[in-house]
Structure formats: C-alpha cells, structure tokens
Structure 1
Amino acid sequence: MSENDRSRLYAWLCEHADEQVAEYMMSCLPAAPVSDLVTKQHLEAVLSAEFSKLALSIAAQRDADRTEHAAQRDADRTEHAAQREADRTADRAESARQFRWLIGTFIALTGVLVGAMYGVVAIA
C-alpha cells in the first residue's frame, strides 16, 4: 500500500468512524509493502549464515593468534636461553677474576707474614 493510499484510507476512516478507530486500524496495517517485510524464517536463515561466517572468522583468528603466540614463545625462549648463556659466561669470568684476586691476596699476605717472621728472626 502506498503512502498516498494510506493517507486516503485514514481520511476515509476518520470520516466514517472516530479518530481513535482510524488510528487503531492504521496501526494494524503494515507501513511497508508486505513483500518488503522480513519473515521469521528469512531472518533466521540470514542470521544463521552470518553467525556461521562469524564463527569461522573467530576460529580462523584464534588459530592465527595461537600460531603467532607459539612463534613469540619460541623466540622468547631462544632469547632467554642466549641471555642465560651470556650471564653464565659473565659469571664465570667474574668468578675467575675474584679467584685470581683471592690467590694474589693470599700470596701477598703470605709474603708479608714470611717477611715479618724473618724480620723478627733477623732482629732477634
């Protein structure tokens, strides 16, 4: 029903009945042509198809995210392993330096003690 037809029908109803009846009758008639109205079955079919597309899209994105996160974890593990090895190497070098310092200090103190002992013996 066109808008012009709706207007004429409303005017006719207002002439032959009161305005409340005309308003009620017009509210019962669809505002658009019946062929343009969406049926429940059509809506269910369209929504079902769209939800299926959405579910596939979400599944694909989830798989892509999992792949990306697995690659990132592998890269992080490799980076951390390299950092641990670098730290171990630095720790070994520091331990060797401290050991050499300790040995040097021990030798120096031994020399001081021996010198002091011979000095005491030489004086006596």
Structure 2
Amino acid sequence: MSEQDRSRLYAWLREHADEPIAEYMMSCLPAAPQPDLVTKDFLTSELSRFATKEDLAAVDAKVDVLVAQRAEDRVAGRVRHYWLAGIGLSALVSIWLDAAGVIG
C-alpha cells in the first residue's frame, strides 16, 4: 500500500469512525510494502555475522587476564621503584658520609 493510499484510508476511517479506531486500524497495517518487511530468516542470518555470547565470554576472559597482568605489573613496578630509590639513597648517604669524613 502506498503512502498516498494509507493517507486516504486514514482520512476515510476518521470520517466514518472516531479517531482512536482510525489510529488502531492504521497501526494494524504495515507501514512499508510487504516485500520490504524483514523476515525472521533474514534477521537471523544478518545477526549471525556478529559476535555470539560465546565470543563475548571469550573476550571477557581475555580482559580478566589482562586486568590481572596489569595488577601484577603495578606491583612489580612499585618493587622496582623502591629498589632503585634505595640504591640511590644509599649512594647519596655514602657520598655524604664520605664528604663529612665519617667514612673514607
């Protein structure tokens, strides 16, 4: 049914019945031509091209592994930072004590 036919039918229904009935009748009719409507088979085939629940679960598992690795990297980075800071501090203390004549 063309848009022009739909408009004429709606106007006729409003003239011969009240507006809520005309609205209801028009909502029962497809707005697009029948061949243009999507079928369940077409929709299923189109959606199968995208990720499935199993794919999303696999991605979620990979993200969990990456989050755990990031936490381990942070701990290792802190340990490395404190170790380097300790070496630097001991070198400064050694230089200061040597300059003060305490060690030498």
TM value normalised by structure 2: 0.51
- The count of residues paired between Structure 1 and Structure 2 equals 95
CA-CA distance at 1:51 after TM superposition: 7.2
Classify the secondary structure of the residue corresponding to 1:83: helix
Residue aligning to 1:88: 90
Residue aligning to 1:7: 7
Residue aligning to 1:100: 102
**Distance change >3 Å, CA 18–CA 100, structure 1 → 2:** closer
Q: Which amino acid aligns with 1:25?
A: M
Residue aligning to 2:72: 70
Q: Which amino acid aligns with 2:83?
A: A
- The structure carrying a bigger helix percent of its residues is 1
Q: Aligned partners of 2:37 and 2:59: how far apart in 1?
A: 30
Residue aligning to 1:119: none
RMSD: 3.9
Residue aligning to 1:22: 22
Larger Rg: 1
CA-CA distance at 1:68 after TM superposition: 3.6
Q: Aligned partners of 1:88 and 1:23: how far apart in 2?
A: 85
Q: Aligned partners of 1:62 and 1:91: how far apart in 2?
A: 44
Q: Aligned partners of 1:30 and 1:73: how far apart in 2?
A: 62
User: Could you tell me the percent identity over the aligned residues?
Assistant: 30
**Distance change >3 Å, CA 23–CA 75, structure 1 → 2:** closer
Q: Aligned partners of 1:7 and 1:87: how far apart in 2?
A: 86
